[in-house]
Structure 1
């Protein structure tokens, strides 16, 4: 099937946490015979911070973040069998959703792919005229980055024909164990951009344990933290490119996952970082959220913390041997049950099933 995918960026993970997710799934779809074109705007300095060249498994169109640039790529939707508008493109999101779905041909499968469903649902509850809410009756399907049954039910209550979670996963060809790198040496590392709906949780789960354990070295990577006041034992690394993630995850005694407020509230939403860390056999400490056991087993494959005190206690009790055992168990689990090969097979089946449904519906309309 010919897929037109409108998203934030495939080529750059800069201020774009969904990049690894897009890459993993779209590469697998290409391997299953789909013809993919990814449309991304030249915005937020992402093109100046690329961490991937244009791949051979997708054609990437970078368009100017202008009205003319927008109109040019929206017209391309008419040539696709599947039209996907992802959330969080960052510029002209509302215009893109309306424009590409209206331009899609009659027999195309129309999909909204929500990579922050909890936040989108909150917005729709607050705004009866929200563009996504208005678009749902004309869409064939909503796919989400996670959220489980709570997100599925909520989307269906808003009028979605069907909503299916497609979770993050591991690409074992990208994320795997590597030798330690002294640049990332520490006892606990956290990687994530500074975002308003996560900052309070970073203060609780990362900065509080750093203050409780002043003799232990901590490391934070990601954009935006350079202006944040931190304890003296916390070192700031800045943006960490995808090619450096393995070393970032393999070097510390443990790495920390901190969900955004909306993701933690709704649960069933493991971040990409969870699978990247597990794929590198890192010892992962995560903040508590509902559904973690569907992905990793607490105390065996992951350590779960209810607050900053728990993080500090986990770190104090952690030995290199225990950390290695937890990391190896996590690696075995995600390779077996949470690979992008499995996610790609899932999405391939979804697209083919809905392609047949749309074709049947279109045939019935033409016969009527």
Structure 2
């Protein structure tokens, strides 16, 4: 792995110590990845890293074009059948989005697929991925606390179902997991993660009174390292910070890492069911090995089925393969692809994403906004004061052609 950002953290290139990019830092890491980072107490301030984000579901045609062209050499290594996509929205009688409704596609009374709605009332359906393409006698059932209703299968690719006897309610809980590549380049930059995480979690708590908050952590490296995947299931913020503080970076060596094992392990963290916002930040700059694309994408498919929204965070040097897999995992789970930019002036140059438009913001502000949007039931756009600059023809998250 050449570079890594951890949660909110820029990581320098593979095999390079943090001292090479941040010469003022003391250095050295433990080979087993346990023990406090050597940069503890460095006094770093939050809000230094910069990033953009991109919603491939808002730019569906562009995503299909990218799969057919930019990412075409990678599709044979592993892909998901996403050429056909349906966005279904479930509301109550007042047309407010219903969180934690369960939408099922049935055929002859048998359930083919059953998916939970997010806080925005939405669920994605992929006819081939969700195994109902070409089936006859299809119908839809919507289950809520008020009971189950049946609907005829709609036409088109945008479906809306109103359930008059249900009452909308925003999530009362948040499960937030970080899956972090912790190979050799992390070094003292772990202090950026600690600093940014403290800022983010405090702001989320302040903006979410009455919400039950839990945090989980997975750190991973690669085969042959002292550990491959290390999991810390959902717990309190204090436990999360304590576990995070014991991690250091080492190992890796080559570019690909065991991302597929980490993402599979993330499914076993103990996610809550019910009216819960489920958010996973996957922070990395390297893909899995070429023969592990399929299990990586299988984990994304499972997250799609369980209502876990994936927000990958691409660090410097992310490369085409990592961008492909990260964007596809965000796309199928209604997440967004997040990527560091060079605007901060920190670390190595960041690989430009294959994205025509985005707004650059501070990373901590952006990640807080992604989480609070999941709790609010609709996307919270960045206020003008938070936007450092705009790339391309950006229109409320949609990339317009020049002159459009």
**Do the structures match in fold with TM over 0.5?**
no
Q: Output the TM-score relative to the length of structure 2.
A: 0.30
Q: Output the TM-score relative to the length of structure 1.
A: 0.32
Q: Which has the higher strand share?
A: 2
Q: Which has the higher helix share?
A: 1
* Higher relative contact order, chain-length normalized (CA < 8 Å, sep 6+): 2
